[in-house]
């Protein structure tokens, strides 16, 4: 009790010291504020009190500015994004120079935008351009996808739709601002209505030319537009006159008496837009919502549509808003007011057929029964599929405009269609050698005598076009290969695989996947396919790379001045140039030199095509017109046929399947199954098709081509030869993801659900279950199937407990789960039951935006640590444990039996990733052993305390023993102990040194009974024993002497069984010794005053537990 007043007095002294320091700090602060307020303005302006570091300003602004992601469909354009941060760039970037300011702006672009920017200004870098020029380029590249005319036109069509008046006000303000109505004058308003008055496909060219003139000219009047229209009219008349040809001695038909109907045995033309019967149009009586009406039977119509007058006769059912746009057979747009759900009925030979569907209403006089309703009428649908209409009129408005559009392009872009090679004006190709590369010189190869003359002609042609230059000496040389083309001429190719390709570094630019290309073509109905003339040879190489491209021929050494075929880096270099050329263009996709343009109608396609040719001319490329296809309804692209309805297998390749003979051995079976897998995206019956064939691939199974195998083989060929169809992906349409799991596999299908309720697949996928996954319960398998589906289709869509972990993954998506029985779930059920010996691929779920976010997060985290990411990466490679963990994370292969520390990482492997050669646990960087003390010192800076240090560590860094190391750091800090809110609970003290061969003692249970002092001790956590000493005489002094003999420390914490015997002042004096004489880890015991019945404790050596025992004979001595 004597220590309590001393403790209170010490606490009061500490409080007084703190109060005195606070008063001193307040005085100093008041003086500083007074001094600052008294400083003259001129002094403040000339000598700032606080000077921020430029790097700190950059980092602060970098964190405050959100990344720019270009999405014009959602209104995310650069000008809107810049307005949000304009004040920040104008006022808070004054301390940054123009290059740093530009670097800050470019660093906040996402990966796609940064790539498009560098491509647009290539070969310059963004930091080489002035600030204003960078802003102009970004506004031009990432502006609104809609023209100013379209935005203004849509602004005038704004309607109130029952929303809140405040929201309606904001909508009007937003559209008026976007349309820039504050800059339009009376002349501009007149021009707007002037252009909007041209309706119909006959004025498509007027639309295009006038809209371009409105966008290119700021001040324009009606007179300018009228003059432009008269000029267009004159051009069209001159074009018709030239196309008419000479009419000397020509026999003409009488004007306005052309034949308009003719019988054909079969369809003679592919370009059929509308097919009409020779007789009157077929009409069908349909009862809609109880009202009979006559509808035109049109098997080419995608919707059922009625006129507004018919809709009124039906009782004006409630119309719903719709985004569907309709076009007549001649391309004239239909004005659709809305749609309503209807019940219809049709009389047939088998009775009355009923159905339900969506009916659209138009202001035009158009009443058509479309295919969505026809499919619900079995008799009619079967008849349509069985018979063909032979008597047709071929009406093709696209074909009539094709020559006009092509001639216009040839006139306007004459340089693009010139014969010979073009020359890329924007950049040159650079080839990078590996650091350890050595020159390789190969001798020439012999040329057949029959090809010498033709090869000489080809070399002369390349010399004339400056593709080759003769040289007398070179360290590098590759032999040539002569390829005979289909037209009989020779192509000279260099065989760079003999040495140069191994010495080159691969150009890191990804080629687009088929999904990337097909997604850009969605919604297209008209297509144009362009072919570049010797595409690679239109790109020049820089001077340093020319020596590498030396070839050794029968005429000596020649050096390429252009990028040749056969160089490993050529595809990536050319693809990057093409990607930068078509960046920002609508309806354009490219795979190397194969460029495709599409559009939803003739007007849009013509605009897209002209915009592409402007870019081609700007870049200096040329196309080979004889290999181009303009304005065609379907194209063959990347092994598929693409048209307005979707993607189909290539019939030319399927024709080979039809004639394929049955396999004769296991190797041929594997080849056929590989072909089946290639077309797996078009096949829904995969399991049924391949199950009998898969059995032939089982180990130790003899090859036996049975009847079941032949039936499966024939069925597979039949399915692959049928009209299998996938639809284009359209983000605006409803997406349905179907997933199913069986005992052996999982399958998934992503589809579009259309307004009539029908579904069309976009892609099919499946995989087999691993051995571990086959042990899952069915609920877990279904959950795994759903996770597999959303990960597989991630690009289309935008944990100890497995189910909980999967649920967290699924929460990242906006979806609803819909149950279907297996009988209605064939598209996923068949895929899920595929049985095959195949590897389970790792799913590609990380897109460019996610990769960029991960890099930014890693950079920001490493910036908070007292070391760089390079330091962590280097030490990670030196740390054996982390190096092994890094390898396991990268390969995905973890050892079945792990060491103790590796086991800790194995348990968190689902959260481990790699970034820049470092391990990352969630958002935290894993610190190697050598750098842990440095990080601990940084965390301990300022003595924040144990809890605060752990909180900071959980934000930035991690290692397996980080919590314990933080606790030890705080416990060993004297200042932290002095400022602690409560004393630290220490462990009991060990009295002897284990390293010197002595056992480590821990305090035992002491009791005095029948002249004995009995106490239990624990020896080295392994051997448990009981030791007893006879006390004579039975006094506390004798007991104290015995204890001192055993324990060599004068103050011993002990626990007794509350016997009243050891209550002498001798033991009390030792118990109540002041804490200053004890080590930091030695607590002071306060004896218990509670009296309990005497008991004996016995130690169980197997369980290491104490049990009570009242029999002295059972004690282990």
With respect to residue 944, please indicate whether it lies within any of the assigned structural domains. yes
Helices 602-619 and 204-216, packing angle to 10 deg: 50
- pLDDT value of residue 177: 72
- pLDDT value of residue 1017: 46
405/388 same-domain check:
no
508/570 same-domain check:
yes
Residue 476 has pLDDT above 90, yes or no: yes
**Residue 541 per-residue DSSP state:** B
Domain residues for the domain of 866 are: 850-960
Residue 62 has pLDDT above 50, yes or no: yes
CATH number of the domain within which 818 lies:
3.10.20.370
C-alpha to C-alpha distance for 733 and 796, rounded to whole angstroms: 12
With respect to residue 209, please indicate whether it lies within any of the assigned structural domains. no
Choice among 69-83, 102-116, 179-193, 1063-1077 with the minimum mean pLDDT: 1063-1077
DSSP secondary structure of 452-467: HHHHHHHHHHHHHTTS
- pLDDT value of residue 706: 87
- pLDDT value of residue 616: 92
Please count the helices (runs of H) and the strands (runs of E) in the chain.
40, 35
CATH number of the domain within which 611 lies:
3.10.10.10
Mean pLDDT of the chain: 71
Q: Torsion angle of alpha carbons 447, 453, 456, 462, nearest 10°?
A: -120
In the chain, what is the straight-line distance between the N-terminal and C-terminal CA atoms, in Å?
40
- pLDDT value of residue 172: 75
- pLDDT value of residue 541: 93
pLDDT bin (cut points 50, 70, 90) of residue 561 is: very high
With respect to residue 490, please indicate whether it lies within any of the assigned structural domains. yes
798/777 same-domain check:
yes
- The last residue of a domain, from among 613, 644, 675: 644
Q: How many domains does the chain have?
A: 7
Task: Summarize pLDDT for 285-309 with one digit per residue, the tens.
Answer: 888 888 888 888 887 788 899 998 8
With respect to residue 404, please indicate whether it lies within any of the assigned structural domains. yes
With respect to residue 285, please indicate whether it lies within any of the assigned structural domains. yes
- pLDDT value of residue 923: 75
- pLDDT value of residue 144: 64
- pLDDT value of residue 317: 87
- pLDDT value of residue 470: 93
pLDDT bin (cut points 50, 70, 90) of residue 635 is: confident
540/420 same-domain check:
yes
- pLDDT value of residue 1045: 59
Give which of 561, 510, 572 is closest to 537, Cα–Cα.
561
Tokens of 272: 């059929």
493/599 same-domain check:
yes
413/539 same-domain check:
yes
Give which of 810, 800, 934, 782 is closest to 872, Cα–Cα.
934
With respect to residue 1042, please indicate whether it lies within any of the assigned structural domains. no
Q: How far is CA 282 from CA 277, 297, 309, 632, in A?
A: 8, 6, 21, 29
- The last residue of a domain, from among 328, 362, 392: 392
With respect to residue 1078, please indicate whether it lies within any of the assigned structural domains. no
Average pLDDT over residues 132-148: 74
495/516 same-domain check:
yes
Kindly tell me the burial class for residue 728, based on how many C-beta atoms sit within 10 Å of its own C-beta (0-12, 13-18, 19 or more): buried
How many other C-beta atoms are found inside a 10 Å radius of the C-beta of residue 373?
27
Q: Name the more confident of 577 and 403.
A: 577
Choice among 179-188, 236-245, 316-325, 1081-1090 with the minimum mean pLDDT: 1081-1090
376/420 same-domain check:
no
289/417 same-domain check:
no
C-alpha to C-alpha distance for 645 and 752, rounded to whole angstroms: 13
With respect to residue 173, please indicate whether it lies within any of the assigned structural domains. no
Let me know: does 716 contact 690? Beta carbons within 8 Å.
yes
pLDDT bin (cut points 50, 70, 90) of residue 361 is: very high
- pLDDT value of residue 522: 76
- pLDDT value of residue 794: 64
Task: Summarize pLDDT for 365-397 with one digit per residue, the tens.
Answer: 888 888 888 888 877 777 776 654 443 333 455
Average pLDDT over residues 1015-1029: 45
759/867 same-domain check:
no
CATH number of the domain within which 287 lies:
2.40.70.10
350/301 same-domain check:
yes
Residue 42 has pLDDT above 70, yes or no: no
pLDDT bin (cut points 50, 70, 90) of residue 145 is: low
CATH number of the domain within which 656 lies:
3.30.70
431/334 same-domain check:
no
- The last residue of a domain, from among 1033, 1055, 1086: 1033
């Amino acid at each position: 009790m004597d220590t309590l007043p001393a403790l209170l007095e010490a606490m009061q002294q500490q409080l007084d010291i703190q109060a005195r320091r606070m008063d001193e700090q307040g005085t100093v602060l008041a003086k500083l504020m007074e001094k600052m307020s008294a400083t003259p303005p001129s002094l403040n302006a000339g000598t700032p009190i606080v000077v921020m570091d430029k790097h700190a300003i950059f980092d602060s602004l970098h964190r405050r500015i959100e990344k720019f992601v270009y999405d014009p469909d959602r209104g995310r354009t650069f000008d809107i994004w810049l307005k949000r941060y304009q004040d920040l760039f104008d006022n808070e970037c004054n301390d940054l120079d123009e290059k740093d300011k530009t670097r800050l702006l470019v660093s906040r672009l996402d990966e796609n935008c940064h790539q498009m920017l560098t491509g647009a200004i290539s070969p310059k870098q963004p930091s080489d351009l002035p600030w204003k020029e960078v802003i102009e380029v970004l506004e031009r590249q990432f502006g609104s996808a809609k023209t100013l005319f379209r935005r203004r036109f849509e602004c005038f069509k704004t309607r109130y739709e029952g929303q809140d008046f405040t929201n309606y006000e904001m909508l009007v303000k937003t559209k008026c601002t976007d349309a820039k109505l504050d800059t339009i004058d009376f002349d501009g308003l007149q021009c707007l209505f002037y252009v909007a008055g041209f309706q119909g496909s006959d004025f498509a060219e007027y639309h295009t030319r006038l809209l371009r003139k409105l966008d290119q000219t700021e001040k324009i009047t009606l007179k300018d537009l009228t003059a432009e229209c008269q000029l267009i009219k004159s051009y069209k008349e001159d074009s018709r006159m030239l196309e008419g040809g000479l009419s000397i001695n020509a026999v003409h038909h009488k004007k306005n008496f052309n034949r308009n109907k003719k019988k054909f045995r079969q369809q003679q033309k592919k370009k059929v837009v509308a097919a009409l019967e020779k007789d009157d149009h077929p009409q069908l009586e349909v009862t809609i919502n109880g009202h009979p009406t006559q509808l035109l039977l049109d098997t080419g119509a995608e919707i059922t549509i009625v006129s507004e007058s018919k809709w009124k006769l039906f009782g004006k059912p409630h119309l719903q808003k719709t985004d569907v746009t309709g076009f007549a057979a001649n391309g004239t747009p239909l004005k659709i007011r809305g749609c309503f759900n209807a019940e219809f009925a049709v009389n047939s030979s088998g009775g009355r057929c009923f159905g339900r569907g969506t009916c659209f209403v138009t202001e035009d006089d158009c009443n058509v029964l479309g295919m969505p309703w026809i499919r619900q009428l079995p008799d009619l649908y079967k008849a349509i599929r069985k018979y063909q209409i032979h008597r047709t009129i071929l009406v093709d408005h696209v074909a009539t405009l094709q020559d006009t559009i092509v001639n216009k392009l040839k006139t306007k872009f004459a340089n693009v269609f010139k014969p010979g090679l073009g020359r890329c004006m924007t950049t040159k190709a650079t080839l990078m050698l590996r650091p350890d590369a050595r020159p390789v010189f190969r001798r020439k190869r012999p040329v057949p005598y029959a090809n010498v003359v033709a090869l000489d002609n080809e070399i002369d042609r390349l010399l004339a076009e400056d593709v080759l230059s003769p040289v007398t000496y070179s360290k590098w040389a590759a032999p040539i290969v002569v390829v005979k083309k289909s037209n009989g001429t020779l192509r000279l190719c260099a065989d760079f695989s003999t040495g140069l390709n191994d010495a080159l570094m691969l150009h890191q630019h990804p080629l687009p996947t088929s999904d990337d290309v097909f997604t850009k073509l969605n919604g297209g109905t008209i297509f144009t396919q362009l072919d570049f003339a010797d595409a690679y040879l239109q790109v020049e190489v820089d001077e340093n790379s020319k020596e590498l491209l030396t070839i050794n021929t029968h005429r000596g050494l020649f050096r390429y001045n252009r990028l040749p075929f056969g160089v490993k880096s050529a595809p990536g270099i050319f693809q990057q140039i093409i990607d930068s050329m078509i960046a920002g263009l609508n309806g354009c996709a490219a795979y190397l030199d194969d460029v495709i343009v599409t559009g939803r109608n003739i007007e849009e396609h013509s605009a897209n095509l002209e915009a592409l040719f402007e870019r081609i001319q700007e870049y200096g490329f040329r196309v080979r017109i004889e290999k181009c296809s303009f304005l065609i309804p379907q194209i063959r692209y990347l092994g598929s046929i693409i048209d307005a309805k979707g993607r189909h297998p290539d019939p030319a390749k399927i024709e080979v399947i039809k004639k394929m003979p049955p396999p004769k051995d296991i190797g041929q079976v594997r080849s056929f199954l590989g072909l089946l897998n290639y077309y797996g995206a078009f096949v829904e019956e995969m399991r049924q098709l391949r199950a009998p064939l898969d059995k032939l691939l089982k180990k130790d199974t003899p090859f036996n081509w049975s009847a079941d195998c032949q039936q499966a083989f024939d069925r597979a060929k039949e399915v692959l030869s049928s009209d299998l169809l996938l639809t284009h992906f359209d983000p605006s349409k409803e997406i349905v993801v179907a997933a199913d799991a069986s005992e052996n596999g999982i399958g998934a299908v992503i589809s579009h659900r259309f307004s009539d309720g029908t579904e069309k697949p976009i892609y099919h996928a499946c995989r087999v279950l691993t051995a571990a996954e086959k042990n899952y319960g069915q609920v877990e398998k279904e959950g795994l199937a759903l996770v597999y589906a959303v990960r597989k289709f991630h690009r289309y869509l935008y944990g100890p407990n497995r189910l909980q972990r999967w649920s967290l993954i699924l929460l990242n998506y906006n979806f609803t789960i819909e149950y279907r029985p297996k009988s209605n779930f064939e598209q996923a059920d068949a895929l899920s039951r595929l049985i095959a010996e195949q590897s389970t691929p790792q799913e590609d779920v990380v897109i460019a935006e996610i990769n960029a976010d991960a890099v930014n997060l890693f950079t920001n985290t490493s910036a908070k640590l007292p070391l760089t990411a390079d330091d962590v990466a280097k030490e990670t490679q030196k740390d054996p444990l982390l190096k092994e963990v890094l390898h396991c994370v990268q390969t995905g292969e973890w050892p079945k039996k792990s060491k103790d520390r590796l086991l800790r990482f194995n348990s968190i492997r689902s959260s481990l990733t790699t970034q820049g050669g470092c391990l990352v646990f969630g958002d935290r960087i894993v610190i190697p052993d050598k750098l842990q003390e440095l990080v601990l010192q940084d965390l301990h800076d300022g003595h924040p305390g144990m809890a605060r240090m752990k909180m900071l560590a959980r934000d930035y860094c991690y290692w397996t023993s980080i919590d314990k190391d933080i606790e030890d750091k705080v416990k060993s800090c004297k200042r932290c102990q002095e400022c602690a809110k409560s004393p630290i609970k220490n462990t009991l003290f060990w009295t002897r040194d284990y390293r010197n061969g002595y056992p480590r003692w821990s305090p035992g249970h002491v009791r005095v009974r029948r002249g004995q002092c009995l106490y239990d001790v624990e020896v080295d956590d392994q051997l448990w024993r009981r030791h007893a000493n006879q006390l004579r005489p039975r006094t506390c002094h004798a007991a104290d002497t015995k204890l001192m003999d055993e324990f060599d420390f004068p103050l011993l914490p002990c626990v007794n069984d509350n016997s009243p015997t050891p209550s002498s002042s001798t033991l009390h004096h030792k118990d109540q010794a002041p804490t200053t004489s004890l080590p930091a880890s030695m607590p002071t015991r306060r004896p218990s005053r509670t009296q309990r019945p005497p008991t004996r404790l016995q130690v169980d050596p197997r369980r290491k537990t104490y049990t009570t025992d009242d029999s002295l004979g059972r004690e282990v001595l």
